[in-house]
Structure 1
Amino acid sequence: MTTTTARLLNLLSLLQTRRDWPGAVLAERLEISHRTVRRDVDRLREMGYSIQATMGPDGGYRLDAGSELPPLLFDDDQVVAMTVALQAATATGAGIEEAALRALTTIRQVMPSRLRHRLHAVEFSSVPRAGDASATQVSPDVLIAISSAVRAREVLRFDYTTRTGEPGDETTEPQPPRRVEPHALLSSQSRWYLVAWDLDLTDWRIFRADRIAPRSPTGPRFTPRDIPGGDPRDYLSARFKGSDQVNAWPCTGTVVLHRPASEVLPFAGDGTVEVLGPDRCRYTAGSWSWIALAASLGRFDTAIDVVGPPELTQAFAELAARNAQTAG
């Protein structure tokens, strides 16, 4: 039998997950009587939570948002989830790393010893994207401006800066102001991207958020368009692979590697590995060109038998000729 405190915590957790809860459903979920639900709701009200009673045949309860929040209550799983999220926030490139660490420290200080032990059990570090981390930092104000325009379906106007030149000797080149219909704000490999319909180019574009300087005010509301592929995450991934529509590499081939599958798996990336024996495996992978795919397979440092297609065999021949010329 749960204690009153645990029951109140579970009740509050349920009320926070949806707008309206019929009293009968709450009683069933918590395995208590309707009368106990009413008493527990009254206890939460005494603690400062604004809970409204809803009328009708399925009369129930609604947790209203207030200007002043009482102390928040979390169950064990929520504590673990919050800890993981705050630690992972240090590698998002959103400019909130210090704030996330301070929030995590505050949470640890106020948690009872039992939960504090669980917090320490999930300590880890996030590895940021290789390269200049400072170049990928995005101001929280920029992310808020972009996401607000996405949510409101309002045309976003911004200045956009591109970089040219070799790494370490790059120059920035401001571009004319852009007008876009923002559809999705995504995070990938410690960078933030905006998927949007460019009104001037009349085409889909992907913009680096760290190069965006929003202008005020935003433009008129727009009707959302169908993103190629149907999902902004798939579209972003497809563009990284050199495709405009399908989230797949344009060049995909299969080979037999004369290495155990256990030695190939750690370096397989998004490829697939099939065990053929103690010292051989079948490996299927893709790349943006056949030459690039053939060259990438050399990282396994072993004999390779091409299964197909013929384009991959031809790519190995062209790569061999280039390597021979380089060696000569």
Structure 2
Amino acid sequence: MRIQLILTVLMSLFLARSSASQELERYVFQSYHMGTQFNIVLYDEAGKDSTTKKAADDAFARIEQLNQIMSDYEEDSELNRLSRTSGSGEAVQVSDDLFAVLKESIRMADLSDGLFDITIGPMSRFWRVVRMSPDPQLPTDQELSEFEEQVGYEHIRLNEEDQTVELLKPNMQLDLGGIAKGYAAEEALKVLNSFGIERALIDAGGDVTLGDSPPGRDSWNVAVPKNWEEGETNFVTLNTANRTVTTSGDLFQFVEIDGERYSHILNPMTGLGATNQIQATVIAVQGMEADALSSILTLMSPEEGITLINGMNQTEAILFVNEGEAIREFYSEGARHFLD
């Protein structure tokens, strides 16, 4: 759903250590993957620097492994190899990781009546060029018609028994930009857990996956920007642990064409970027769900979006809608529980 997931969640990286937990040391590691900077903040026993660094290095290695599987930028990624079989009549056996993400993507597509659709690759590739152009233009009617022929998640056939995938129409291109980072962050946290590190945070360019709370605290603090004023940013602070917090919207990534502002988040029904200027923050137990839902909510009316979230378990959302003179705020039934 997202061409590139943007850093709209700002976290508090400089938390003081509790005097009651002096045996735990705070560490910060950074590395660039999946088109964004990943930050790892963790607490581990003092004096274990080499082991702690290995844990972070292994977590980053896991992220890069997943990038080589799921990137639509890497020519020889498993995802792109699969896309090249579209329309061939061939069912391709895929890795456990790719199958898990494809399966969840189909669930999110069904949940959103197709607003989340990983087959939008032809659209997203077109809009990447448009957003870099000095004279951006909307797609022509012919181009929109071609998109309609190539896009549609119903043309993905999954077979769980033999873990195969068949892409039924020619010239399909899968794009996991709206869900892969949520999966990668969770997998990175699992790597840290395997080293006995439970108090950790993974920031995947705005997808913030949280483990146990820092020592001496009940939660992590995650700051979410809430306004669109240039040079001025207000925040709300969320307090939570053992969840993923993801924010999407056109706060930073958009293109203006003929006076209209088009988000980098594409509507598969129209072939165009969203224009309603909604910023959506989702708090969920599962990373992929939070990742996908934050994009979905920017394509729905705020009332419809909150209704969707209120029908889900252990999932909350906060929406900020830019109405020019004011920012309207919408909260799901349990969202205020996480506010500072």
Fold agreement, TM-score > 0.5 = no
Higher helix share: 1
TM-score band, normalised by the shorter chain?
under 0.3
Taking structure 2 as the reference length, what is the TM-score of the superposition?
A: 0.20
Higher relative contact order (CA 8 A, sep 6+): 2
Taking structure 1 as the reference length, what is the TM-score of the superposition?
A: 0.21
Task: Answer with 1 or 2: which has the greater Rg.
Answer: 1
